[in-house]
Amino acid sequence: MSKRVSTENVDQSQLPPVALTEEEHAKDHKMSPLKIAMWVAIALLGGMAWVMLAIVRGETVNAIWFVFAALATYLIGYRFYSKVIERYITKPDDRRATPAEIRSDGKDYVPTDRRVLFGHHFAAIAGAGPLVGPVLAAQMGYLPGTIWIIVGVVLAGAVQDYLVLFFSMRRGGRTIGQMARDELGKIGGTAAIIAALLIMIIIVAILALVVVNALGESPWGVFSVAMTIPIAIFMGLYLRYLRPGRITEISIIGFVLLMAAIIAGGWVAGTDLGAQLFTLERTTIAWGIIIYGFVAAVLPVWLLLAPRDYLSTFMKIGVIVMLAGAIVLVRPEISFPAFSEFAGGQEGPVFSGPLFPFLFVTIACGALSGFHALIASGTTPKMVEKERQTRFIGYGGMIMESFVAIMALVAAISIDRGIYFAMNSSAAATGGTVEGAVAFVSSLGLVGVELTPEMLTTAAQNVGEESIISRTGGAPTLALGIAQIMSAFGGTAMMGFWYHFAIMFEALFILTAVDAGTRVARFMLQDAIGNVVPKFREVTWLPGVWMTTAIMVAGWGAILIMGVTDPLGGINTLFPLFGIANQLLAAIALAVVLAIVAKRGIFGWLWIVILPLAFVAVVTVTASLYKIFSPIPAVGYWANHFAFKDALAAGETSFGTAEGAEAMEAVVRNTLIQGTLSIIFVVLALIVLVMSVIVTIKAFRNGGGPDMEDAPVPSRRFAPAGFITTPSEKALEKQWEDVPEVLKPTEAGQS
């Protein structure tokens, strides 16, 4: 028991220091010969791994080299590049209190242990995105995607996340939209908010499309994914009425129930009645998700959203650990080429358009994801305990997501390349039949690919599906890859279980994103309408909530239905829009960061922001221009639009892969919407970029600009900055342990 001391009577200056001195930092980070040797070894290992991936071209390449190349590059990027950003751009000061410390309220603003907050932040940023994009990008071979995921995260994605987190923290946890208005003015700010709203709709629609494609004609999948709803509701009731706050306990129970649901799914799908009941058309599933999306978004969070989110977080961490372990243990041989036949062309069957810029929009999450700017400027900055920790949480968290993307890529390309194309080419190309798929894949003339009908039927049989032809959207391909890797432990008998396990966790992440995205979008819309009709701002006014929710659900629902019924094979034409939208948000976030850094008067190191901003701006604008102006119908929305329109006018009843006038009219309609969205996106992006450049040039002329940061408040607590506690930090922590109990700061994560 410590002595009873009243807080008022103690001189606060008697507290130990709240930050390390410059000398202590220098001492901790001094390069001893041993450390130098270690970093040389890491660099050599990474270099060797890259050589194995990029230059040594055997028949196959071992998956372990992907892991080494990624880990070594991440370590070097984290230790050196993010340190440069810390030293010259963010310049954190641990003597300043964070919003969590200043406004500490025990609920939203809670100084949280850095390792715990890392987990929180990671669970909020990582979902199905990094599991889907890399799979589709494998059409071009493994190397372009691998380089973009690993190098992109170090120079772009992690930089964005870290800087947005840091600057939002310095502004009391303000959102990216508010920061855009503060830094870029009213026009730039409004454009940023409209873009964010549109992007939310697109992202929800396309993620939902991934689920629909994975569940179409799959009774096993439909049953096990549908079961997540009653399981989540049970968890919600348990937490509300039986044992409030026992989240880990109920998550473990929920997890066991989910496993049971997957096993039961195999059995249900095996019975005639079950197969009849749960074999659903894609359109039916799409309508199911739309209705579900509306209901889930108006139900109270405790009943469905929160418990499913717990389950999803629990699975996220578990699955990633499992997948990493399995890849390292199994070390599958990859037979995909570094660059495929489609790397140089524009009309690959999985997604169309040339490598530059479309590879960089197809893989968004995992390399650079603008959506993270919403998270890094939302809850996380309100929970940071010490300023220096933002590097570990922001930069480190994004590196972790990149690693997930690499593992997804490796798992997906461990399958046969012929099967890959049979699964990922649209039904319009394969006809949805084994013979059609074999004929189509052989017509592609791929080197080293000999796809036989038996390969396709055996693969489908192994995972307990009727067929795996044209299961587009990435999720089924990844699930097959995971099932194959895991079969090293459980044999082929277990493949059906692992396949549906993988489908289920992807669906779980996506349904959470659909539900949460609809709520956030509704909230933004309520706020916007509230400017005119103030009553809409009241979050408890149910008609307002229902109306705005319905508008948002109608928005993404229309795009979803359009994708499901698209005669050209939805995901193939829509996925680029998803990537463009996400990268556009990244451009907006980086543009805001650029203005902030320029106003700080830091011009010598501004290139650190300009580099990813210029790249992503060029990528999104070029991709949009291709989508708007390309004369190749497979690439340009408008080219396709007018081609079909002309064909209709000429009285033709079939054109390209669309049969019948009705299908052709659908194409005309869909391309009109897609083309219009492309135009809106590029215009919004250009507005934000121009505003940002104007602000930056103005700041350059004046040697800086007004500082929008909150006034500094002295901190009264200490915590280490990174994952590993340094010797000086340990010594200082010891001093804090001797502080009388009553003076010790409270925080989340203290045992």
Partner 1 sequence: MSASIATLWSHFLRGVKAVRWWVTNVMGDRSYDVYVAHQRRHHPHEKILSEKDFWRAKYADQDANPGARCC
Q: Does 641 bind partner 1 (CB under 8 A)?
A: no
Applying CB under 8 A, among 271, 283, 653, 746 the residue interacting with partner 1 is 746
Please list, in sequence order, all residues whose beta carbon lies within 8 angstroms of the beta carbon of residue 228, skipping any fewer than 6 positions away.
258, 261, 308, 311, 504, 507, 508, 511
Residue 134 structure tokens: 């890399």
- Phi/psi class of residue 113: alpha, beta or left (left: φ > 0; alpha: ψ in -120 to 50)? beta
Q: Does 386 bind partner 1 (CB under 8 A)?
A: no
Nearest to 586 by CA among 196, 283, 248, 48: 196
- Dihedral over Cα of 646, 649, 650, 656: its sign: positive
Least separation in angstroms between CB 539 and partner 1: 5
Q: Does 517 bind partner 1 (CB under 8 A)?
A: yes
Query: Of 86 and 515, which has the nearer Cβ to partner 1?
Result: 515
Query: Of 465 and 747, which has the nearer Cβ to partner 1?
Result: 747
- Dihedral over Cα of 230, 507, 211, 637: its sign: positive
Least separation in angstroms between CB 430 and partner 1: 27
Q: Does 244 bind partner 1 (CB under 8 A)?
A: yes
Query: Of 221 and 307, which has the nearer Cβ to partner 1?
Result: 307
DSSP 8-state class, residue 723: S
Query: Of 468 and 524, which has the nearer Cβ to partner 1?
Result: 524
Query: Of 302 and 339, which has the nearer Cβ to partner 1?
Result: 302
Phi, psi of 96 (to 5 degrees): -90, 140
Residue type, 100: A
Applying CB under 8 A, among 375, 405, 456, 695 the residue interacting with partner 1 is 375
Query: Of 58 and 245, which has the nearer Cβ to partner 1?
Result: 245
CA distance readout (Å), 330 to 210, 411, 487, 580, 622: 28, 11, 10, 35, 40
Please list, in sequence order, all residues whose beta carbon lies within 8 angstroms of the beta carbon of residue 241, skipping any fewer than 6 positions away.
none
Nearest to 137 by CA among 340, 318, 310, 319: 340
Which one of 354-362, 519-527, 553-561, 646-654 is the stretch in contact with partner 1 (CB under 8 A)? 519-527
Least separation in angstroms between CB 132 and partner 1: 8
Query: Of 176 and 434, which has the nearer Cβ to partner 1?
Result: 176
Q: Mask: binding to partner 1, 352-371, rule CB under 8 A, as x and -? A: -------------x---x-x
Least separation in angstroms between CB 18 and partner 1: 18
Residue 584 structure tokens: 């556009």
Least separation in angstroms between CB 164 and partner 1: 13
Alpha-carbon span 309 to 233, nearest angstrom: 12
DSSP 8-state class, residue 352: -
Site for partner 1 in 604-623 (CB under 8 A): none
Alpha-carbon span 514 to 210, nearest angstrom: 12
Alpha-carbon span 341 to 451, nearest angstrom: 17
Q: Mask: binding to partner 1, 534-563, rule CB under 8 A, as x and -? A: -----xx-----------------------
Nearest to 230 by CA among 314, 297, 292: 292
Q: Which residues of 274-300 are buried (b: 16+ CB within 10 A; e: fewer)?
A: beeebbbebeebbbbbbebbbebbbee
Nearest to 333 by CA among 611, 636, 630, 62: 62
Triad 32, 38, 44: Cα angle to 5°: 135
Least separation in angstroms between CB 349 and partner 1: 24
Query: Of 245 and 491, which has the nearer Cβ to partner 1?
Result: 245
Please list, in sequence order, all residues whose beta carbon lies within 8 angstroms of the beta carbon of residue 488, skipping any fewer than 6 positions away.
326, 329, 330
Least separation in angstroms between CB 746 and partner 1: 5
Query: Of 371 and 421, which has the nearer Cβ to partner 1?
Result: 371
Q: Does 168 bind partner 1 (CB under 8 A)?
A: no
Q: Mask: binding to partner 1, 497-516, rule CB under 8 A, as x and -? A: -------------x-xx--x
Query: Of 257 and 664, which has the nearer Cβ to partner 1?
Result: 257
Crossing angle between the packed helical segments 607-629 and 355-362, to the nearest 10 degrees: 110
Alpha-carbon span 382 to 391, nearest angstrom: 15
Least separation in angstroms between CB 473 and partner 1: 13
Q: Mask: binding to partner 1, 88-127, rule CB under 8 A, as x and -? A: ----------------xxxxx-x--x-xx--xx--xxxxx
Side-chain half-sphere CA neighbours of 33 within 13 A: 0
Q: Give the count of residues interacting with partner 1 (CB under 8 A).
A: 65
Q: Does 582 bind partner 1 (CB under 8 A)?
A: yes
Least separation in angstroms between CB 178 and partner 1: 14
Applying CB under 8 A, among 100, 136, 201, 207 the residue interacting with partner 1 is 207
> Hey, which residues does 658 pair with through a beta bridge?
655
Please list, in sequence order, all residues whose beta carbon lies within 8 angstroms of the beta carbon of residue 376, skipping any fewer than 6 positions away.
121, 125, 161, 164, 165, 168, 176, 394
Which one of 245-253, 350-358, 452-460, 473-481 is the stretch in contact with partner 1 (CB under 8 A)? 245-253
Nearest to 659 by CA among 428, 443, 426: 428
Which one of 247-255, 274-282, 555-563, 663-671 is the stretch in contact with partner 1 (CB under 8 A)? 247-255
Alpha-carbon span 208 to 286, nearest angstrom: 8
Least separation in angstroms between CB 207 and partner 1: 6
Q: Mask: binding to partner 1, 283-312, rule CB under 8 A, as x and -? A: -----------------xxx--xx--xx--
Side-chain half-sphere CA neighbours of 332 within 13 A: 27
Least separation in angstroms between CB 742 and partner 1: 8
Q: Mask: binding to partner 1, 434-473, rule CB under 8 A, as x and -? A: ----------------------------------------
Q: Does 138 bind partner 1 (CB under 8 A)?
A: no
In the block, residue with structure tokens 């970029």:
689
Query: Of 262 and 516, which has the nearer Cβ to partner 1?
Result: 516
Site for partner 1 in 313-352 (CB under 8 A): 313-314, 317
Applying CB under 8 A, among 58, 245, 604, 651 the residue interacting with partner 1 is 245
Least separation in angstroms between CB 720 and partner 1: 15
Phi, psi of 214 (to 5 degrees): -75, -30
Least separation in angstroms between CB 379 and partner 1: 6
Least separation in angstroms between CB 695 and partner 1: 26
Query: 714: helix, coil or strand?
Result: strand
Q: Does 248 bind partner 1 (CB under 8 A)?
A: yes
Nearest to 456 by CA among 439, 478, 475, 474: 439
Distance of CA 284 to the CA centre of its chain: 27
Least separation in angstroms between CB 359 and partner 1: 18
Query: Of 522 and 599, which has the nearer Cβ to partner 1?
Result: 522
Site for partner 1 in 686-705 (CB under 8 A): none
Least separation in angstroms between CB 669 and partner 1: 26
Residue 74 structure tokens: 């991440």
Least separation in angstroms between CB 531 and partner 1: 18
Least separation in angstroms between CB 704 and partner 1: 32
| Interface contacts to partner 1, rule CB under 8 A | 104-108, 110, 113, 115-116, 119-120, 123-129, 200, 203, 207, 239-240, 244-249, 251, 300-302, 305-306, 309-310, 313-314, 317, 365, 369, 371-372, 374-375, 378-379, 510, 512-513, 516-517, 519-520, 522-523, 539-540, 582, 746-749, 751
